[in-house]
Each structure stands twice: as structure tokens, then as C-alpha cells.
A and B are shown apart, each in its own frame.
Chain A
Amino acid sequence: MRIRKILTLALAMMLVLGLVAGCAQSSATTTAAAGETTTAAAAETTTAAAAPAEKIKVGVIYISPKNDGGWSQAHADGFAAAVAAVGADKIDLKEIENVNDADAQQTETALNQLVADGCQIVFATSFGYMETTAKVASENPDVKFEHCSGYMSADNFANYFAQIEQPRFLAGIVAGRMTKSNTIGYVAAMQIPEVYRGINAFTLGVRSVNPDAVVKVTWTNTWFNPQLEKEAAISLIDSGADVLAQHQDSTAVQQAAQEKGVFGIGYDNPMYSEAIKDAYLTAPVFKWGAYYEQRLAAMLDSSWTTGAYWGGMNDGVVALDTMTALVPADVQTEVNALVDTMKAKGNDFVFAGPINDNTGAERVAAGSSLSADDQFAMDWFVEGVVEAK
């Protein structure tokens, strides 16, 4: 009987272990980070005499794993690049992955952990962290906080986002030039302004070079469901699309394009791989390194101030991924020729009037362009988008 009890306990422990590994992977990472802190602290005491310059401790929380190939990876790569640029000996980066942004308690724990670890600045890289980060920021006035894609701010709490619409527009030009059927498919996620903005910028790009082309939009109503995204892509191909674009992070759409012999335009990160080599054209990508480098440098020379940053291609925080050899040279030239204009004019160029919506009503008059507020609240489609509500 005793053996039986011990065995039960052992098996139960295994399941609990799994629980720790799965549910709270973030806390596992935290422990690892905390471990590093102790060694780092130990190292500091020994080297303090030799090198008085202290490292800036920078905390980051991610919604998913750093190598998710999408949103979080774009941020993680950005931090890696920024740290390399300002000097790895000056920055002590503490990252926590898999912090659920729908779980305020988990978010708060992670943020407080980073503050307790001595971070002087903490970056929260998902929209859902906003309110919790604002709260923790108000409780820790000596620590700086930055939040990506939100709108709240305070003296020690900045927000930042990037104008991905600009490379989206350029990707649209590529799609408009590459389509033979004049039907372009777009696998969209949720019906929120950010997604509408992306589709509209892309479509405006398409129509700027090919007014006959239409962009068919399919909603999956999920942020993450690769099998479903792939089927959504196939449904678009079946309905005549020969170039696909996407909003979700996974490469499922690109794989559908590869299998069915059509072209694909990715998102978030450069997606090229051997497995999608006959489909992948390019992708609008985030290059957060440019922004993070600025902010870390500001921390180092104590010039950090709060603010609301919304940068574009001019700052290098967004770009169009290198076009693959599938894109003809003349199209590449055409797109590259626009980069300077885009850098100079930004979203005013993307959303320059006249713009009609897809019911025919005029939304932006000729000679003006869509205001930032209207961009943030976008819930309509430009002319050329075929969609079903």
C-alpha cells in the first residue's frame, strides 16, 4: 500500500511539473533570470572596483515565446540588435516570455518581478499589458516603463508603435504587379482598426498600380490557429486569388500559397525559408531595433523622456523585407523608387486622398489625407476590397 501511495505521489508530481512547465513557463524563465541576477550581482562586486560604469538593467515582457516567428520575435530581435548597437557590456537584458496579456495578475507579477530585479526600464510588448503597466508604473515612479501599441502614458510611462502601413502599401504594389487574375487574397484576423488599416494600406498600394485588381478579405476571427489560417488561404485561392497576404504571424498562409502554386506576402518578420521558396515574395516587417537603440541610448545618457512614438520607414522601425528573386527586377525598382517618398511623407502618403470606401462614398477628399485619429479608428474598407461582414 505504501509503494502505491509513493507511486501516486510521484505521478502526481510529474503532472504538477508539467503544469509548472506549461502554465507558468514565464515563471520558469523568471527563475532563470533571477539566477542570472545573483551571478551578475556577484560578478559586479568583484569587478566594481575595476569598472565603475554600471550596467543599465532592462526588462522586457513578451506575450509569446521569443522565437514565435512573429510579433514577439520581431521585438526580441529588436532588443538583441539594440543591445549589440549600444554595447552589450552596458546593458543587462532581462526577458520574460509567455506573459498572458489577458491575465492582469500574471502581467503584474512579471512586471513587479522585473522591478524587483532592479530594472531601470521595463518594456511591455503587447497591447493587453497597457492598463497593468500603467498601474505598476504609477507604483514605481523611479522606474521607466514603455508600452507597445497602446495609448496611455505618464511621466515615467511612454507608449510606442510603428507605422507598418507604409511597407504594407509597398507590398501592395508588389501584389498588384504580380497578380494575373487581378484577385488578391488577404487572410485577416480580427475586425479591429489595426487590421482594417493594414488591409486598406495594402489595397491602396495594389490599386495605385493596378486599378482593376480587387483584394478579397477572409476573416478567421482568430489570432492564432494555423490549420484554420491555411484553410482560409486555400479558400481564397479556390475563389481565384493568385497572390495572398496575411495578418497573422504564422507561415501557414505562405505554405498554402506554395502548395497551390500562387504567391504569398508575409507579415511581421522576414519569412523566407526553403519550404516556401516558390511562393514568398516579401513581407512588411517590424525592425524595432532602431527604436530600442534610441531608447537604450537615452537611458545610458539619462536623457530618457516620456512620449508617444509612432514612427515609420523614415526611422527604420518598419521596412519591406528584401524582395525575393520571384519579383521581377522592374517591379523591385518601382517599389524601391518609392521608398524615399514614403520616408518623407509617411502615412500621409499612404492615406492621401481621394479615397473612396468600398460602398463608393468619399472618405478623404483630393488634396488632403486621413487624420491620425481616423486611422486609429478605422472600421471601413477602401475601394477595391471585397469583403463580407
Chain B
Amino acid sequence: MDISLMIALFVASAVRMAVPLLLGTLGESLTERAGNLNLGVEGLMMMGAATGFIAAYHTDNIALAILVGMLGSGFGALLYAILTITFRTKQDVTGLALTIFGTGFANTLGKSLANQNTPPAIREFAQATPLHLPLEPVASLPVLGPVLAFIDTAFLQHNWFVYLTFAAAVVGWIYLFRTREGLHLRMVGENPAAADASGIRVIAAKYVHVVIGGILCGLGGVYISVVNVGTYLENIVAGRGWIVVALVIFIRWDPLKAIAGSLLFGALEIVGFRIQHIEGLSSIPVFSQYAIDMYPYLMTIIVLVITYARKKAYQGPAALGVPYFREDR
């Protein structure tokens, strides 16, 4: 096969794999920027996957499926928020409990629909490629033709859900670094006492961002069950929530870097298959599937080490994991 087509198809596959990771990473970045470490990402994604699929199955309406998935995961995030923000429970323990709770919640709710498929209108939405270019007129042009064909195959043959996810990352970056509210949020995560003193409503900011963050994670689950695979199965998220927790550190809590990070981690999930089809390459040990499965975590560790070594690098929200208690000051 033509090498540029091969690469384009590989990138397209990586984009699809990146979507749930990106949504989870955006959600967890917002949550952590508010000073809350939520280890319940896997649970939230499962809640979104199950509730979204139930709505999709019964209504055949993608908007309703997304909405219900948001409500389902929002509920999980709200539980976590009440416990960690109002009652100041240990964030790590509560997050782990949320993973178990969310998985159990999803499996209980989704049990009767396990292995069912999404109905026709949802499948049509998932398979539609609204931005696909009509390339026949330019296909024969010398440089432009192949370049456009590459871009089209790699990036423009996806559904709206994919594009909105990447748009959400850009919006998230603008919000975090170019708006007053974003500045306030970062302040809450760095130094809630100072934020409080300057008139920012710390508790409210934490609640809002933890819940929205959880909803974004849940949308990652909705993507997997409703949009991508089109089936609900027990534990369909298959550990991506944990990859997200590592990815957030890898991208230094920055939504724009999250795009690159999730594409890279997504690509690493599938690069093994693609390499398996290239003669010679796959017999090299560093390209074996087993080695490749390890790379996301290995890279996260490397990034951690590098950033800790470089004093100037951003080390994450200073008040991450610390419950805020006004009278503590």
C-alpha cells in the first residue's frame, strides 16, 4: 500500500482512539485545576457509557444520549464533590471509591442491555463524515491533490462528536488561560486561601469544575459505547480512565497539550497493529506489542522526572489534593 495512505489511515485511527482520552483528560485537568484529585475517572466514564447507551438504545436520539450520559456522570461527580469539598474526605480514597461505585452502577444499570447494538439513527450519526472533502476535481493536481487527500483521510473522515471534542479542548484552553473565570479557577487550585481572600467563591468554583470535569469524563464513556463501538458491554471503558490519570500529568494540566498528548497515547494503543503489517519492523523488540503497551506509562514517568528536575516547569496545582477549610488559615 501507498505509504502516505498508510500513515493517513493510521492517524485517522489514532484520532478515534484519542477522543475518549482527550475528553477524560480535559475533565480531569479542570478537576485538578480546582485542587481536586479525582481518581474516579474510570468510574465516571463507565457511568457515562452506561447511561448514555441506555438513552441511545431507547430513544435513538444522539442528543438525548449525550444529555443522559452527562447527567449520569454528573451525578457521580456531584457525589464526589459533596464528599471531598463539603465534607473534606480524602480525595484519593474517595476517587477510588468512585471508580468502584461508578463501575458497579454502570454494570447494574447496563446489565439488561449488554451486547445490544445502537439503533439506526445513532449509527448513522456515528458513521457520518460531515467534513469529508469532495476530492475528485483536485485529485490529479501535483502537490495539492495528495496533500488534501492525506488531510482528508487522516482528519476529515470523522463524525461531529470527534470534532466537537477537539474544539472543546481549544475552548478549555481559552477558558483556563484567557478568561477571568479561568484565572480564578487556577488561583483556587494554587492557593484557595488567597483566592478566598480576594473574593473568589472557592467552594462554588470547586463544585462547578469538579462536576463539569466529571461530565467531560462521562462523555468519553459515551463516545466509546454509543458513538465508537456502538455496543454496551460490561467494563467497556477497559482501563482508559487510568490512562487519563497519567495523561493529565503528562500534559501538565494544559488543554492544548492534551490534544497532542491524547493523540500520542491513542496512537500508541494502536501502533502495534499497524506495525504488525509492516515486514521487518515488527521483529524489532522495541516495536513489539508488549513494549508498546508500556510506553504511555514509561513516558509519563519520564515527564515526571524531567519536570521535577527542571525547577521552572509547572509542577501541577499547588493545592492539589488538599481539602479547603476556611477556618484553617
Query: Using a CB–CB distance below 8 Å, which chain A residues touch chain B?
Result: 4, 7-8, 11-12, 14-23, 25, 64-65, 67-70, 73, 216-222, 224-228, 230-232, 234-236, 238-240, 250-252, 255, 259, 273-276, 387-389
A228 to B268, CA, bound (A): 11
Q: Is A388 in contact with B102, judged by CB distance below 8 angstroms?
A: no
Among A11, A22, A251, A274, the residue within 8 A (CB) of B103 is A22
Give every chain B residue within 8 A of A222 (Cβ-Cβ): 238
8 tightest A-B CB contacts, nearest first: A22-B104, A18-B101, A69-B115, A388-B282, A275-B117, A21-B104, A235-B273, A388-B276
Q: Is B107 in contact with A21, judged by CB distance below 8 angstroms?
A: yes
Give every chain B residue within 8 A of A276 (Cβ-Cβ): 117
Question: Do A18 and B102 form a contact, CB below 8 Å, given A226-B238, A230-B228, A251-B231?
Answer: yes
Among B87, B100, B228, B276, the residue within 8 A (CB) of A387 is B276
Give every chain B residue within 8 A of A217 (Cβ-Cβ): 276
Q: Is B231 in contact with A255, judged by CB distance below 8 angstroms?
A: yes
Q: Which of B64-88 contact A (CB under 8 A)?
A: 79, 82-83, 86-87
Q: Answer yes or no: B288 CB below 8 A from chain A CBs.
A: yes
Q: Can you list 5 pairs linking A and B with CB atoms under 8 Å apart?
A: A11-B83, A15-B83, A22-B101, A69-B233, A255-B229
Question: Do A4 and B87 form a contact, CB below 8 Å, given A65-B111, A275-B117, A389-B282?
Answer: yes
Give every chain B residue within 8 A of A73 (Cβ-Cβ): 115
Give every chain A residue within 8 A of B228 (Cβ-Cβ): 227, 230
Secondary structure dominating the interface of B: helix
Among A14, A15, A64, A228, the residue within 8 A (CB) of B270 is A228
Question: Do A235 and B274 form a contact, CB below 8 Å, given A64-B234, A221-B293?
Answer: yes
Interface-side segment among B13-21, B29-37, B189-197, B295-303: B13-21
Q: Mark B221-245, 1 if CB is under 8 A from A, else 0.
A: 0001000111101111011000000
Q: Is A225 in contact with B100, judged by CB distance below 8 angstroms?
A: no
A61 to B118, CA, bound (A): 30
Give every chain B residue within 8 A of A255 (Cβ-Cβ): 117, 229-231
Give every chain A residue within 8 A of B107 (Cβ-Cβ): 21-22, 25, 65
Question: Do A219 and B276 form a contact, CB below 8 Å, given A224-B235, A273-B117, A388-B282?
Answer: yes
Q: Is A226 in contact with B231, judged by CB distance below 8 angstroms?
A: yes
Q: Is B229 in contact with A389, judged by CB distance below 8 angstroms?
A: no
Q: Answer yes or no: B127 CB below 8 A from chain A CBs.
A: yes
- Interchain nearest-CB distance for B46 vs A (Å): 9
Give every chain A residue within 8 A of B234 (Cβ-Cβ): 64-65, 68
Give every chain B residue within 8 A of A220 (Cβ-Cβ): 273
Q: Is B105 in contact with A18, judged by CB distance below 8 angstroms?
A: yes
B292's closest neighbor in chain A, by CB?
A221
A381 to B224, CA, bound (A): 33
B88's closest neighbor in chain A, by CB?
A8
Q: Is A251 in contact with B117, judged by CB distance below 8 angstroms?
A: yes
A19 to B40, CA, bound (A): 13
Q: Which of B225-267 contact A (CB under 8 A)?
A: 228-231, 233-236, 238-239
A70's closest neighbor in chain B, by CB?
B115
Q: Is B20 in contact with A239, judged by CB distance below 8 angstroms?
A: no
A25 to B104, CA, bound (A): 8
- Interchain nearest-CB distance for A277 vs B (Å): 10
Q: Mark B99-128, 1 if CB is under 8 A from A, else 0.
A: 011111101100110110110000100010
Q: Answer yes or no: B9 CB below 8 A from chain A CBs.
A: yes
Q: Is B101 in contact with A388, judged by CB distance below 8 angstroms?
A: no
Q: Is B127 in contact with A224, judged by CB distance below 8 angstroms?
A: no
Q: Is A23 in contact with B100, judged by CB distance below 8 angstroms?
A: yes
Q: Answer yes or no: B269 CB below 8 A from chain A CBs.
A: yes
Q: Is B238 in contact with A388, judged by CB distance below 8 angstroms?
A: no
Q: Is B114 in contact with A69, judged by CB distance below 8 angstroms?
A: yes
Give every chain A residue within 8 A of B1 (Cβ-Cβ): 238-240
Q: Answer yes or no: B59 CB below 8 A from chain A CBs.
A: no
Give every chain B residue within 8 A of A11 (Cβ-Cβ): 79, 82-83, 87
B76's closest neighbor in chain A, by CB?
A18
A14 to B107, CA, bound (A): 16
Q: Answer yes or no: B307 CB below 8 A from chain A CBs.
A: no
Q: Mark B199-228, 1 if CB is under 8 A from A, else 0.
A: 000000000000000000000000010001
Q: Is A227 in contact with B238, judged by CB distance below 8 angstroms?
A: yes
- Beyond A70-B115, A252-B229: 17 further Cβ-contacts under 8 Å? A11-B83, A15-B83, A217-B276, A221-B290, A224-B233, A226-B233, A226-B238, A227-B228, A228-B238, A250-B231, A252-B231, A255-B117, A275-B123, A275-B230, A276-B117, A388-B276, A388-B278
Give every chain B residue within 8 A of A65 (Cβ-Cβ): 107, 111, 114, 234
- Interchain nearest-CB distance for B201 vs A (Å): 20
- Interchain nearest-CB distance for B143 vs A (Å): 24
Give every chain B residue within 8 A of A12 (Cβ-Cβ): 83, 89
A216 to B277, CA, bound (A): 8
A21 to B109, CA, bound (A): 10
A11 to B87, CA, bound (A): 10
A14 to B83, CA, bound (A): 11
B273's closest neighbor in chain A, by CB?
A235
A221 to B282, CA, bound (A): 15
Question: Do A235 and B229 form a contact, CB below 8 Å, given A226-B238, A251-B115?
Answer: no
B114's closest neighbor in chain A, by CB?
A67
A224 to B231, CA, bound (A): 13
Q: Is B231 in contact with A389, judged by CB distance below 8 angstroms?
A: no
